[in-house]
Each structure stands twice: as structure tokens, then as C-alpha cells.
Amino acid sequence: MAESGMDPEIFDQFLDQLQRYVRERLIPAEKEVIEHDRIPAAILDEMRNMGLFGLSIPVEYGGAGLNMQQYARVIHVMGYAAPAYRSIFSINIGMFSSALKNGGTEAQKAEWWPRVAAGEIACFGLTEPGSGSDSAGLQTTAKPDPSGNGWILNGTKRYITNAPSAKVALIMARTNKDNLPKNTHVSAFIVPMDAPGVSTGTPDKKMGQSGAHIADIMLDDVHLPGEALLGGETGKGFRFAMMSLDNGRISVGAMAAGLARRALDSAIRYANERKAFGEPIANFQLIQQMLAESEMEIYAAECMMDDVTARADRGENVLRKAAAFKVFASEMCGRVVDRVVQVYGGAGYLAEYDAERFYRDARIFRIYEGTTQILLLQIAKHMLREWKEEQR
């Protein structure tokens, strides 16, 4: 079923407004974000008022009702500014909202969609100290509460984006001690972060992406009512999580393309200002080669973004193409920021210049929401499965 999204003319006006906001408000505030490792409260309030926390949530629940193509274009525009700005609302409109859409009950949607659309920050708890890509290694447990129809959760989640500031988490937990086919031993739970027994660790110090926080979530005999189980059924949590990861991977790909575009624009400006041998280094052909190669790769990623999101809006299964887009865009961004450091030369290695920050900020794109290596295996697995089915 195709998703219509926001009226195209209204959306274009919103996007124009957002581009101005990014350049006139968010980019000038980056120095403060980096210095204090947080987004200023005033900017968070502005982002809530602009509706950024509810972009993909249906209008009837307080959101903007964007389709996937519009959602990705917004993330691409936001990607031009520091990654922390996207990170703070990306789980709301990405994996959390998508999981609710795909697997939530009507009561769960009615309770949580308006809250996250209004700006209550969400997080997504799948990764653990001993398991990331390997869901069979997941150790967090959810056992029936002997005193009623609820659940008791125990375990630890690791590297959870927005955990220190989140009001709600979607937590994956074992509801069966055995590893069952198709990961039906894993279920999803909506967990208020102020529930007794929920705590978060100290935010981790990271290579880059200042202002975007990750931390552990500890679950110590957390009692939840029965309605906390996503969809009201056990054994479906992993499927809901994987379906929502398509959304997350598209978001990361769009962000990577946006950051690559920002980095390239920075390199073009620097190459025209920096002089060597009596002329701007932009006149040197090997500098031009690095700029041109970056432009080609960014353009290719932007085309992939438009294609995969259009397919998603038509109702196609985009698991393979979303993975392909995420891999290409994240690897592309790594190559672009590396070239940008090279264009800057010695200055590119100094924290005084943006190139050094772009380089550090980009590195995580190839790791979270599925590492490049895991996604390559997933793409190949689906290709081979389709080939075998075609031979029957």
C-alpha cells in the first residue's frame, strides 16, 4: 500500500524553512554543542515546535505524517549540520515509530505516538555487552510476573543512543530460554525509563558526534504490565525490530549523504581560499580530481536514497536495498571526508578546522544500524535465496 505523505507543496515549503534553520541556527550553534557536549535546551524546544520529533508519525496522533521519501529528504537536510541534531529525534521517528506502526496495538499507538510526537525522547534497546548482530546471544530476559499478567525484565543493553535523556525505550528481551527458529524467542517491550529498576550508565566518551549520547541501560527486576508487550504477543519482537531497522538504515544513509555534502562544500571553499605556488589550490588538477570523485559518489548515494524510499512508499520490501543504500552511503561518506582532510592538507589534521571533525563524526556510520560486513552478508544471503527460488 502506497503512502501519500504530506502535501508536496507544503512539504517543499517546510524543507525550505528547514534548510534555512539548519544554516542560520544549527550550524552557528555547533561550537556550543561540541564545547558542552549537548544540544542547548532552547534548540531542543525549537525542534519540538517545528514538529521534528513527530515527522513520520500519523497526523491523527500528533505527527506530520511524512512518507519515507519525505522523511529521508528531511534527514538529508539535517545531515548538513552536526550529527547530534539528527540523533536526538531520529529514534522517535525511525525505529520506535516504525516498530509501533508495524507491531503495536491500537492502545499502544494511542498512548505513545502522541507523546513521542510532542518530543518525549525514545531509545531502542537491542545491543547488549555480549550480542550485537548476533540475536541468538541476547541475554536480557522477560519472564511472566507470578503476581499477575505482567512481565519482569532483567538484563543490560549497551551503546543505546539517547539512553541518558530518553523517556521511553523499546527493549528486546528473551521470552523463551531456547533459541527458536526465526528468532521467535525474542519479544519487544515498551519500557518507561522512569519505571522502578531501570537505570542508565554514565554516557560513553566517543570518537566523534559530540552532543549525541550513548549509554548502557540496566534492567533490574523491572515489573511491567501485560500491555507493555509490543503487539500483545510474544515471539514477534525481533521481526518488528528488523522491520524497523530498514527505517533506521535509510536514516543513517541519508545522514551520511548530508554530512558528505557538507564536507565537500567545506573543501571547495577551502580549496578556493588556500593558495600555494601563487594560486588557489582549487586550480590544481589532483585537487579537482578529489572534489569531482566526491561529487560523483554523493550524487550516486542521493540517487539511491530517492530510489529506495520511493520503493518503500510503494509498499515494496526494501530490506536488501535499504541495506545496500546504508552500506554505500556510509562507506562513501568515509571516503569523502578522507579526501576532504587531504584537500585541507596539514590544516585538515587540526581541531581548529572542520575537516578533522567531519572525519571523526563519519566513522560510526559504517558500524551502527548494521555494520558494513553484516549488511554485505545479508544482501548476499537474500540475493542467493532469490536465485534459488527462481530456479524452482
pLDDT tens for 336-346 read 999 999 999 99
Does pLDDT of 108 surpass 70? yes
Domains defined along the chain, listed by start: 8-120 (1.10.540.10), 123-235 (2.40.110.10), 239-391 (1.20.140.10)
Which candidate in 369, 386, 389, 390 is catalytic?
Answer: 369
More confident residue, 180 or 128: 128
pLDDT band at 1 (very low <50, low <70, confident <90, very high): very low
Angular region, 202: left φ>0, alpha ψ -120 to 50, beta rest: beta
Higher pLDDT among residues 137 and 160, named by residue? 160
d(CA 22, CA 49): 15
Q: What are the beta bridge partners of residue 218?
A: 156, 199
Model pLDDT, residue 246: 86
Encode pLDDT of 46-67 as tens digits. Answer: 999 999 999 999 999 999 999 9
pLDDT over 60 at 111, yes or no: yes
The per-residue pLDDT for 196 is 96
For 216-264, how does the pLDDT look when each residue is reduced to its tens digit (9 = 90+)? Answer: 999 999 999 999 999 999 988 778 877 788 888 999 999 999 999 999 9
Is 30 marked active-site?
Answer: no
Q: How confident is the model at residue 375 (pLDDT cuts 50, 70, 90)?
A: very high
For residues 34-44, average pLDDT: 96
- Taking residues 95-115, report their average pLDDT: 93
Q: What is the pTM of this model?
A: 0.93
Q: Is the pLDDT assigned to residue 182 strictly greater than 90?
A: no
With 0-12 / 13-18 / 19 or more C-beta atoms within 10 angstroms meaning exposed / middle / buried, residue 308 is buried
SS3 assignment for the chain: CCCCCCCHHHHHHHHHHHHHHHHHHHCCCHHHHHHHCCCCHHHHHHHHHCCHHHCCCCHHHCCCCCCHHHHHHHHHHHCCCCHHHHHHHHHHHHHHHHHHHHHCCHHHHHHHHHHHHCCCCEEEECCECCECCCHHHCCCEEEECCCCCCEEEEEEEEEEECHHHCCEEEEEEECCCCCCHHHCCEEEEEEECCCCCEEECCCCCCCCCCCCCEEEEEEEEEEECHHHEHHHCCCCHHHHHHHHHHHHHHHHHHHHHHHHHHHHHHHHHHHHHCEECCEEHHHCHHHHHHHHHHHHHHHHHHHHHHHHHHHHHCCCCCHHHHHHHHHHHHHHHHHHHHHHHHHHHHHHHCCCCHHHHHHHHHHHHHCCCCCHHHHHHHHHHHHHHHHHHHHC
Task: Report the percentage of the chain scoring pLDDT > 70.
Answer: 98
Q: Confidence band (pLDDT; 50, 70, 90) for 104?
A: very high
Reported as a single tens digit per residue, the pLDDT across 128-152 is: 998 876 766 889 999 999 988 899 9
As a whole number, mean pLDDT of residues 207-220 equals 95
To the nearest whole number, what is the mean pLDDT of the chain?
A: 94
pLDDT of residue 2: 56
Residues 262-320: tens digit of each pLDDT:
999 999 999 999 999 999 999 999 999 999 999 999 999 999 999 999 999 999 999 99
**Which cell numbers in the block locate residue 29?**
550553534
Question: How many angstroms separate the CA atoms of 294 and 302, rounded?
Answer: 12
Q: Is the pLDDT of residue 181 over 90?
A: no
